[in-house]
Chains A and B, each alone.
Chain A
């Protein structure tokens, strides 16, 4: 497959996954700011900017940080390359360029999503319409992933699409967990309080893991178990271990000439996440562990780019 085509397919899938993750983050933030002290509120508003590394850009806009300005910036701002709006636009543009290498259903899903997003007005997205909008973005992303899985031939296009999806998802899970854990850390000893229940439940919900937690642990919400679920649990589709497994799977199926560095790192990462122990991770420091995994994910993305997709 042409490197350019693989690149567009890879990024098309990443951008769609990124839009979904942004919707998840903003959805849970909208919920969390309803609770807690003023201090905690500000931390919660700041979290999405920290997770997406856009705090500086937002500050430069010179706006007060409120839920409304936050959503306007992260959901709708065409000038912000990681806004939902920009992700849906870029995903569609990439798909348009390779529309003969993907299925018409995939193209039509992305095209229709973009056409609808393009017409979204601020009034519809901030305030009471927010939840509805975030749900819509998630649904479109689910639809795109399902359509891709259900229609595309199992070949290079499929492999690069899967890699894009799961690299982006792993990146997101690592960031959410790190930032949220940091906010919630002071109250770790206070487990069981009503407020913390909501905070932890919201974190789990942001990655669709609330029900899974209940089903797997039959227990109250303990921070260490939340971490275990989101980092090491293979059965949990947004966990780092599950994403790493999928990335490695897709990568193994691709034939390249200079891809040893990428394949080696993917296997190493999978091994680290498969044969890890959550107690050990906590002893050595959760933050340090997540940062080193995130560094690997970023480096893996670079190596994939170099090995298959052309120059960075």
Chain B
């Protein structure tokens, strides 16, 4: 069943949205062979520069390219400005939430979010209790996944507050487009994104433990076998800072140092792309070879800053997600500007009643479930399946949440037989330090298989350049 989707370029068949007009004209004028040739050139360039993601299960260290689509995803400036306001509001509230739950826990006392849900969450880090962070910011780099529903409304699908990746593709995709199709950038003013590494460095410096001197920043990577290693090296190089592995760092007398040819050198801020559990074998997983023994104690002493902070995962958790609009109201006293996907919690009688009546339209999930087990996808289920599920739901309502099935918008994309609509999402990157900043753009992921909603690069997803235009 083909549902109705919002198309980013065409308002209706033959009716191009204003911000896509220049591109649409160019597409009509350009011979298809030229575009095909350019795509081949792009593949070659990506391979040569080594913009690949590692598939190191392969014994020979094979590296795969993430498919790059040459038709950009365009967002008009007025719409982008609304997104920026919404994202800033949301990330600010999430940071306030993180500070709160590791300090006074006012939101729990007020009963806005059930305390046990936060305190027993696996990602909640007791080690963070009472620790004061510069500017009270926890998630310095947030990758918020957005989708556009068929009514044109943007929804937040997920807040990624741990170690979100993909920003290197945002920059490399732009570089590639400018190289392949410089004439497109003459036709239309596209806001630049290349200054992201500069903003990131500024953000990282602003959270240094010593406000008086400009600290030494380093990027901590799990190493070359990590699938995002390219991005780690890319960002370190672009910021002009060292790319370190756990073994390059050591803690002495409460401070963190790196081993260099000229002796030890103090490190003040670590942009870490290593998960919480692996950061410090003395504090977390003792079998971790990726971390730095003693790092947590140096961190707690305020001698080194980590981006993102430890324990941010509790705020981007599936069970916390439904409460984000409440957080915004609680901390900021504002109405949320960006929509959450509505979530019905079946433990509430009124929610349960609604879910029961609308099972054929909803996706119903187990609260603790993952990987799609114990889940009902209403629109795709048979009548018998729905009836069987209703029995289970009635027996244990508090075990379930329900969400509507949202559609992802589509964007014209080059496929084997020409240009066809494919589903896309959007991940802008929100930087939070002394202030909140975004570059105008983000990572647009596209599901290259017809009808597919899966945009992940590991499952046949590709990327597009994302333009914000006047």
Q: Which residues of A come within 8 Å of B, CB atoms?
A: 1-4, 6, 96-97, 99-100, 104, 107-108, 118, 156, 160, 254-258, 308-310
Contacts and interface: CB of A to CB of B under 8 A. Distances in A.
B216 to A, nearest CB: 12
B280 interface: no
Contact of B259 (A4, A96, A118): A4
Contacts of A108: 48
B247 A256 contact: no
Contacts of A97: 224
B243 interface: yes
Contact of B262 (A104, A107, A118, A256): A256
A2 B263 contact: no
A3 B237 contact: no
B268 to A, nearest CB: 16
A3 B236 contact: no
Contact of B261 (A107, A118, A308): A308
A119 to B, nearest CB: 11
Given A4-B247, A96-B224, A99-B233, A257 B263 contact: yes
Interface in B233-264: 233-234, 236-237, 242-245, 247-248, 258-263
B224 A2 contact: no
Nearest to A107: B50
Contacts of B261: 1-3, 6, 156, 160, 254-256, 308-309
The 7 closest A-B pairs by CB, nearest first: A257-B263, A308-B261, A3-B259, A100-B233, A100-B237, A6-B261, A1-B261
Contact of A104 (B49, B61, B244, B260): B49
B459 interface: no
Nearest to A3: B259
Given A2-B248, A4-B248, A99-B50, A255 B262 contact: yes
B60 interface: yes
A270 B369 CA distance: 70
A2 B233 contact: no
Interface string B36-59: 000000000000111000000000
A107 B49 CA distance: 10
A118 to B, nearest CB: 7
Q: Is the interface of A mostly helix, strand, loop or mixed?
A: helix
Interface residues of B, number: 22
A254 B262 CA distance: 8
A102 to B, nearest CB: 12
Contacts of A104: 48-50
Contacts of B260: 1-3
Most A Cβ at <10 Å: residue of B61, B245, B259:
B259
Contacts of B233: 99-100
Contacts of A258: 263
Interface string B443-463: 000000000000000000000
Contacts of A100: 233-234, 236-237, 243
B259 A310 contact: yes
Most B Cβ at <10 Å: residue of A99, A108, A156:
A99
A3 B248 contact: yes
Contacts of A99: 50, 233
Given A4-B247, A100-B233, 5 more contacts: A3-B248, A6-B261, A99-B233, A107-B50, A256-B261
17 contacts: A1-B261, A1-B262, A2-B258, A3-B260, A3-B261, A4-B245, A6-B261, A96-B61, A97-B224, A99-B50, A100-B234, A118-B60, A160-B261, A254-B261, A255-B261, A256-B263, A310-B259
